[in-house]
Chain A
Amino acid sequence: MMASAARPVDPEGRAARFIALVEHETTHDRLVWGMRQNRDKAAAGVPDWEKLRDLASQIKEHTLSHLDEYLEQFERNATKLGTQVHWARDAEEHNTIVHDILSKHGVKSLIKSKSMLQEECGMTPFLQRRGIEVTESDLGERIQQLSHEPPSHIVVPAIHKLRSDVATLFAQDLGTDPKNSDPHYLAEAMRENARPRFLEAGAGMTGANFAIAETGGFVVCTNEGNADIGASVPPLHIASIGIEKLIPRASDLGIFLRMLSRSALGSPLTQYTSHFHGPRHGGELHVVLVDHTRSDRLGSPDFWHALKCIRCGACMNTCPVYRRSGGLSYGATYAGPIGVILDPGFDLDKYRELPFHSSLCGSCTQVCPVKIDISDQIYKWRRVMAEKGLLKLSKKVGMSALGTTLSHSTLFHGGEAVGESAIAYLPRFLLYNSLNPWGKHRELPTPPKQTFRQWYIANRRKA
């Protein structure tokens, strides 16, 4: 795990700033919860849904436990089809490989579709510093690029913004009418702006949702068809693929694709599900297989299951903390519950607070199409933070007192009664102070006259 000079992200403070924007927060909550409701209906429409989840989970676990073999098989078959396969240990190597390919072809402008891996690698700023113009072609991703913000959601990157925000932004950057915030007008302006960029680009870049070992090809899912334009118009197509994206067989796609968009938005399939097997007629195809901490994670018994993730975003849509606090509050490439368990793997110190940005309600685990134990992993990351001494002072004080109390039963039973009477008699500032953020927006229950244990001893022990 990489050390970081950056200060730890403060999700609590960031969330507070988002919540203060009342219209943003309520709209975000409504839209994101709407996707969760659509997901439920779509899942209910597939009688085999739970069977699909089981199979998807097994296929991913099988692949990850044979990953070296499947990677070699993929490379062999991809090469046979005329794809040029590259390997990158980390973000720097990935970016350098991409830059070398672009330089060799004299590419000055690049059109790309959404890739969380390229976000992870910080590819766009890397290429821009070297004089290459990079244009995001997904509408939400372009909004985020123009805003100089990372995506706030892995499927709908600008879902935290209102239409009026987009109108202001596009008025500045695309010359649209600042007073017109009709989404149809704004989307059309983006289409008109992007078309010439697609036609002028020297290369198109995509990520990949799945890479198929037995065929040597890969699949990209979009709703806009923007990945397809990038792959079919410029002469050069480069795809960045995380090594965990492998699946063994083409037939496995049936399992994953039936769940991916149903889990994400509630549609039966993304509008475009595109399969790339070797360079198109007259084109050139490169694939960069990227590790970037994935092989480390594979060796972690507690956290390797996160590599099963197919990036559907269902865990974000269902998360009460994500819905209220917005994706930018995580201050990381990945937001939401999946972000909480992925981000510390990239930078433990910087993301030390993220595991506490969760209510541990477990809803994420219930909706995950590949059955990742997300909420258990959040808890385990908390333990890691405690063991590494990365807890905030406020948590340390409370936790160590609690730890001592819970590990001694007499102390606990004494404390229980004292605690409950204390709620009644202690001055409020002891419970509602700045060391205890839990007290914000919350009131403690009215204390009972006796504890359960006192009641039990008085009533049932005698019988």
Chain B
Amino acid sequence: MMPSMLNTRLLSAGLMATVGALALSACASKPPKQLPPEPGPPVTNTMPAPAPVMPSGPTPGSQADFLASTGGRDTIHFALDKYDIDQVSADILRVQAGWLLKYPGKKATIEGHADERGTRDYNLALGERRANAAKAFLVSLGVDASRLTTVSYGKERPVDVASTEEAWAKNRRAVTVTID
């Protein structure tokens, strides 16, 4: 029994490594998300537009511009009960940091969230931990810490309301929101 068990374990370890490498290469080779045509901020005022009509596109340095510049990648995700920044998240945060460094006057809040499968108080702490992990990564890339605040909503603000593994994976997240 022992040798076969050992073999199985070795095999599965090997598989894991392969899957991990595949996942990594898949991520690395993933083409940058196609930017959707930017509709521009909704015009709701009845005032005539200022004389020089801006070309289509959000105001530079605005939250809309942040979303457009990052390809809508304002959110990173986490594994169950984890708060570490994986490669996918690191890539997203690098893009976010690039924008934040371009607009040094802008501040941002990082909202941390947890899925619904934990207790309320703990999830508040876990959401805070995730938001802080994102903040620490951005700071390590040169963003001034005083520009970044964190807030945790625990499990109180799911982005996907279903009670499924897929929904929970979406809800374990940290969202960067720039302050206009």
Q: Indicate, yes or no, whether A interacts with B.
A: no
Partner-B contacts on A (CB < 8 A): none
Partner-A contacts on B (CB < 8 A): none
